[in-house]
Amino acid sequence: MIILGYLYRAYLFFRQGKFASKIRAASLRAFKAQVHPTAFISYGSRCFGPKGIEIGAHSFIGPHVNIVANDTTVKIGDNVLIAAGTKIIGRNHNYESKDKTIKDQGYVQAPIVIEDNVWIGYHVVILSGVTIGEGSIIAAGSVVTKDVGPYKIVGGIPARTLKER
């Protein structure tokens, strides 16, 4: 039985194609994630806290994308493209008290919203509390720490507006 479990996880993690994507989506739905039937989830992608995750229609989650929604929500709209290696992180360590170690202060979490028709480039990091407006483009390698307005093209560390679409 343990060997079957390992084989199943290996299949989910490494297998490519539409059928494997459907199995990954069904596995997320079994853990209370809201994944539209037409969403595509590539191999190697991982979701932490799936009951707080929504993935809209015709959205594409690229290979090795990590989505962290522990104790918060991550909402991905319709027709969103998320390239490989992207990290969507809905929580962060609390560090306000100087009297406690950081590891003993718990977490601060805030929802992340990625609206419809957004393109997120390779290896982008999106931090908690961010809303990315409809039709926006996030350049590869960017770190998004603040809201992005609709139809903006942003890039850099931290991400800033480069131009409008």
What residues are annotated to the active site?
93
Q: What single-letter amino acid sits at 105? A: Q
Contact yes or no for 105/144 (Cβ under 8 A): no
Contact yes or no for 75/66 (Cβ under 8 A): no
